[in-house]
Chain A
Amino acid sequence: MSDAQELQVQQKREVDKKTEGTAPGRTFLPVTDIFETPEALTVVLEMPGVDRNSIEANVEDDVVTIEGRIDFSKYEGMQPVYTEYNVGHYARSFEISNKIDQSKISAQMKDGVVTIVLPKAEQAKPRKIQVS
């Protein structure tokens, strides 16, 4: 993207749930980038307002699920006068292949951005083939 172009706000998308939650309120899909290097697959999710202790990442049946909860008690005593976005918890899940070494998955959080590194299993890493 060129630097001269002005950034536009992205509309938050709501989670399309297969099952209904028991607590009322909306959950949003975090904006996500996914990239791959020879060593790992990395998932980067934006969850503004979520601190590192309120993140939960689980791997189950080849599905990695990331949930982030916002602390909305911070809004106590605050009366909105003008708003442009809504707030809510975040949740998103991705199917991963068996090429991932599930025991080595790691996550870190900085400035509202979660980075999940899914290292590839040894046999899945690409090998250079020498031409003789």
Chain B
Amino acid sequence: MRPFIVLFALSLASGSAASTDGLSSMSLEDLLRVEVAGASRYAQPLSEAPSAVSIVAAEDIRRFGFRTLAESLQSVRGVYATNDRAYSYLGIRGFGRPGDYNSRILLLVDGDRRNDTIYDQAMVGHEGPVEMDWVKRVEFVPGPSSAIYGGNALFGIVNAVLWSGTDLEGSRVTAEAGSAGMARLGLLAGRGIKTGGQAGDWTVGLSVYRKRGGDVHFPEFVGVGGGDGIARGLDGERYAKAFAKLNLGGWHTSIALSSRHKDVPTAYFSTDFNAPGNFTLDQHAYADIGHAATLSENLTRDVRLHVGTYRYDGEYVFLSSSSVVGRDEARAQWWGAEYRLTWTGLEGHKLLLGAEAQRNGRVDQRYFDLSPRTNHLDSRHRGSSVGFFVQDEWRFAPRWMTNLGLRADRITNFGTALSPRAALIHHPIPEASMKLIHGRAFRPPNAYERFYHDGNNTQKPSAGLRPERIATTELAADMAVTPTLRLGASVYRYRMRNLVEQITDPADGLLVFVNQSPIHARGAELEAEAMLTGGWRLRGSIAAQRTHQDSGGEPANSPRRLSKLLADGPLFDTGWAFGLNLQSIGSRLSANGSRVPAHVAGNLVLRQGEAAKGGEWSVGLYNLSGRRHLDPSSSEHVQNALPQDGRQIRVRWESALQ
């Protein structure tokens, strides 16, 4: 019985929170025995993923004034962002299918999935549940990661790591104003907690945003209704977002809410041009609670329960053509559980075992005319998924490491999918590393692709869709040639099967989703970072890729060249710093096969170098040239390409309070 008594005594004592003074008087040996408080102790940071991870650090977010996740990811090699004035989309290594709602990218916030269960959408613009001010760093893992994360992780994972209370120890208030009647207010606050035998922290964030929106000129609509092709005052946007998280003892809990309303000026889906009333509304709510515990010296366990809801409303004005306003409503609710064990009992190994189960209790899509009310679609579904995964990280020789992972997913209606990944990592000298990675991933067609239709007016149901599959191989190297010059390079090959894409069925002229013939991509990326004298820093990357479809031709929105140049540093002795960010993107095809020209776009941000009393000011000029660049459009647009914002200014004030 002795073990029981010892155990209960220890449980009741429940440890004492060591003070900093207590810690600094401890020996190194004793320090290595102190148990670390908080949930982060069990999470494997994504930055340790076996891949060529790119990181947008907190300093970069400030230096370059990134306003959304999409904008920050655009600084990453091989990544490009597009916008259709409703949502932001990411293209990765030549894959950026117009109108795919980012369903092939996994969005994580503090390591937790944020794709919804209808469109599988990774929302990386203002529509998403994340506010840029809350983000401490953005981690981007290119390539498939289904071996750990299951579906959607085909082209990459975006993980937004939020600031925590121990980072903040106080609050930050921000106010912004800018072009097109933009105004934004934000609050972020948090502190460490030490009570009794426990330690942890709390964090809260709030943000409200409003943009009146300017006029947008679409040459395709010149003459429509005798007009000049300008959609006037139909580009407005507003959102409100909130989050809170608490870590205490082994427990962690969080909640996040967001609502975004966007007017859509593009007359998509054949709606009336220059008519008010076309909008999209996206609302998210997430909550989770988890507990992490050390079961033995080498074994830790993390368990987490989560719930989420997503709501989409969209209205489409057809008053001039058919005297109706159509309304889309999508409602999703899901809940699930995750269980993870990490074992480090065998020398050189780190073994991860996990199980996940999710129930999609509500997957509803409706489409109807508002007045008179006529139902066209009323689709109600449920489903569930279970996944098991195992990963071993093994240092098998000095400077050599392997990472082997395998995940099995069972999803309603789609049977079992296996996703393996293998990586070999070698670092011959401390300042250089090489990685060889092979991975496979899958994505089951989402509820939108499977069930959405508008009563066979323009779109019919898509039966018999098979899951998409991708296999990739990548070789990546990274080296600091000198203390001030770092070089990175990678070459890769992707092969994708069963790509789900919307086409017009020649038999009946209706839109339908089908599996496409295989797509192959090969590419190379080169990156350099140099520290110059005077505290200036220069970073640049070039990506070249070639994608072709077996059925022939070049896929849409697949630029062959992407170049980026970022420069930042102090502005001489003025006390101000600058961040210049230039992006060049090669020509691309739009969904209807017309060519969208290449362009270069640049942003410049000036900010006070040191936080002064009374707050820190920064001024951002976005799209320096003022030229309205074009992004390829998807099939629901009449336009071949959609104009982006012209020159914009943003003035930002931030004050930190202790």
Binding partners A and B: no
Q: Give B residues with C-beta under 8 Å from A.
A: none
Q: Give A residues with C-beta under 8 Å from B.
A: none
